[in-house]
A and B are shown apart, each in its own frame.
Chain A
Amino acid sequence: MLQRPSQAPGVFAAVGLPPVVWLFALFLAPLAVIWTYSFGENRTLVDIAITGSWGNYARALKPLYLAILLKSMGFAALTTVLCFVLGLPVALAITFASRRAKLLLLVAIMLPFWTNLLIRTYALMAILRTEGLINAGLGALWGIVPGLPPFEPLPLINNNFAVVVGLVYVHLPFMVLPLYAALDRLDRSLIEASLDLGAGHLATLWRVVVPLALPGIVSGIIITFIPALGAYLTPDLLGGTNSQMIANVIERQFRSANDWPFGAALSFLLMYLTFAALMVQAIISRRSAEREGAR
């Protein structure tokens, strides 16, 4: 086996070059362009002058936009918490399932990835809307009991509730998979040792399973939080006028408002938040790697 690139520079270049070129041409270069736009001003409808001004960022931090950014972070945080609360039992169930059931459950978790997000969101709309499955079902049950006032459909769509439901639905697999990966690596005898020493199942979960699965939990939280923060389609289709998230605002700048420099500034504000979140993850996973390092 090759130990070092220097032993076969040709092979290394052949394997390494395409992804590097790909990354530069299609990711970093466009990103750099957008970044420079964020310091620019609209001159005409199509002409953007890079003036080096911080004006776009100053505008992005105005209360109107800051409120939407904070609201987006709130939605993303709530989504992450709900995904964790729902995802941990699911991940535990998969970890301790029989080999056959484990495979089926993992496929079930990943199945949504095989369907277009737009179609899944429309399906969710069919369930949540005023004449949707839930309200129709509740209405039918309501009709069984005599003497009740007429059924009022629950407001399940075009509001913040619908956005959070949609975000949790879309992002749950992102939480379950890293949790499962971390739990599955856990040495079972540590759990048995905890039980053997007199700890109950909850104490074992709290004192042994969660601390040892912490890197996986942090990964799950980060990779749920980041896409949820930037969610566009879910608030667009399920949310009301009041449940706009930051991505909807950014989209409007690039399209209907035709204000690319401001859109770019908003995008990068989001990007800096993402970097901060990734940094937190890196610090935590390095700490736990150091702890287990010498073993």
Chain B
Amino acid sequence: MSPGMSSGSPIIRFEGVTKRYGKVVAVDDVNLEVREGEFFALLGPSGCGKTTLLRMLAGFEVPSEGRILIDGQDVTQVGPNKRPVNMVFQNYAVFPHMSVADNVGYGLKVDGVPSGERTMRVEEALALVKLDGLGSRRPDQLSGGQRQRVALARALVKRPRVLLLDEPLSALDAKLREAMRTELCQLQAQVGITFVMVTHDQDEALALADRCAVMNRGLLQQVASPSDLYEFPASRFVADFIGSVNMLEGALVVDEPDHAEVAVAGIDLPVFLDHGVTGAAGTTLWLALRPEKIELHKWAEAPPALGDAPQGRNAVAGTITHVAYLGSESLYEVTLPDGQKLKALRSNLTRWDQEDFALGEQVWLAWHACSPAVLLS
């Protein structure tokens, strides 16, 4: 990731931005800051408002309420052709009637950049995206990946303050997507421009972004670094949307400054947490437990001891009802006596690990007192 990402000053500010289409609220009172030089991702399921937010930033849509500031300047009513941002479209939108060089030079031409300087900058931009020497090609002679590079060069040649990317990798095949991820990161570090990307693909967002905003139904759910989103989700939606999760609904029974206990149906003794939870006794809350944070233990009379929780706590017995061998790891579905199913992920560290646990085997599931994320909504 780019250096100094946390110290950047805000380059984009959304202030109470709302967008309505008739009665439908596409974006609902979004307040958000993007910092100078960071790779920022807008993440969410389709229809969550992320694309509308990006299009408002580009100037294609005007907010119903609120303001958008770029570099402290209110650009809410400024047209797309007068904003210091450029966009890479999802379908690339490469002009089919122009050569590659003319496509890349288009923005400079309409800005009145003299032809000598234009040629030079176009060549630089093509070299940046590794399309050197392809300037005279026509778009129909290019592959999908090459067309995306043209779209990137065309936007970057204008030296925008912010580069907007709409689902940049969704149209590429799996291998190319992997390679392009790395390249986008390197490109961003090289040009030092703030990138704002829209994606519905959580892997893409986690892998590329310095920070992500998760959206759902027009509302901003959480803005955090990828690891904070995963390990410290703010809501059940975020916990569920990012990665895979076991969601346990429970009631707060003990709440001390240094530990708490949560009664969960189907688990005999209350779940022990190594930190306090601010809430009244009996409050309903949810424990988000990632599959890789649940350990599988061979069956024994006594539950496994974990060290950071009292004996017998944070352990539950069950039967393996499904095994999915994923290569680097195996995913086990364990059914508890009350029918509840929990997922546990186990790394296949040796070449025989996957043979340790078999379908139908009775096992103990156990987790550390620090593993569940406590969610109040």
Q: A residues within 8 Å of B by Cβ?
A: 187, 189-190, 192-200, 203, 207-208, 211-212, 291-295
Contacts and interface: CB of A to CB of B under 8 A. Distances in A.
Nearest to B80: A195
Contacts of A187: 91, 93
Contacts of B299: none
A295 B155 CA distance: 22
A190 B140 contact: no
B89 A189 contact: yes
Interface residues of B, number: 28
A199 B81 contact: yes
Interface in B23-73: 58-60
A293 B139 CA distance: 11
B110 A190 contact: no
Contact of B96 (A192, A196, A207, A295): A295
A196 B87 CA distance: 7
B60 A200 contact: no
Interface of B: 58-60, 79-82, 85-87, 89-91, 93, 95-97, 106-107, 110-111, 138-141, 154-155, 158
A198 B111 contact: yes
A116 to B, nearest CB: 42
Contacts of A193: 87, 89, 93, 95, 154
Given A294-B140, A294-B141, A295-B96, A194 B89 contact: no
Given A192-B93, A198-B107, A294-B141, 7 more contacts: A189-B90, A189-B93, A190-B95, A196-B60, A197-B81, A197-B110, A292-B96
B138 A291 contact: yes
B289 to A, nearest CB: 43
Contacts of A292: 96, 140
A66 B110 CA distance: 46
B136 to A, nearest CB: 15
A45 B93 CA distance: 68
Contacts of A198: 81-82, 107, 110-111, 158
14 contacts: A189-B93, A193-B95, A194-B95, A194-B106, A196-B60, A197-B106, A197-B110, A197-B154, A200-B110, A207-B106, A291-B96, A291-B140, A294-B141, A295-B140
A104 to B, nearest CB: 19
B307 to A, nearest CB: 57
- Of A187, A195, A207, A294, the most chain B CB neighbours within 10 A belong to A195
Contacts of B95: 190, 193-194, 208
B110 A192 contact: no
Contacts of B91: 187, 189
Contacts of B79: 195
Contacts of B107: 197-199
A153 B320 CA distance: 98
Contacts of A294: 140-141
A193 B85 CA distance: 12
Contacts of A212: 96-97
A81 to B, nearest CB: 24
Contacts of B81: 195-200
Contacts of B155: 196-197
- Of A189, A197, A208, the most chain B CB neighbours within 10 A belong to A197
A288 to B, nearest CB: 8
- Of B85, B89, B97, the most chain A CB neighbours within 10 A belong to B97
Given A196-B86, A196-B87, A198-B81, A203 B110 contact: yes
B140 A199 contact: no
B260 to A, nearest CB: 51
Per CB-CB distance, the 4 closest pairs between chain A and chain B, nearest first, are A197-B107, A193-B93, A189-B93, A199-B110
A145 to B, nearest CB: 44
B266 to A, nearest CB: 51
A28 B150 CA distance: 52
Contacts of B59: 195-196
Contacts of B80: 192, 195-196
A74 to B, nearest CB: 32
Nearest to B157: A197
Contacts of B141: 294
A95 B248 CA distance: 52
Nearest to A292: B96
B60 A192 contact: yes
A292 B94 CA distance: 12
A211 B79 CA distance: 23
B84 to A, nearest CB: 10
- Of B60, B85, B87, B93, the most chain A CB neighbours within 10 A belong to B93
A192 to B, nearest CB: 6
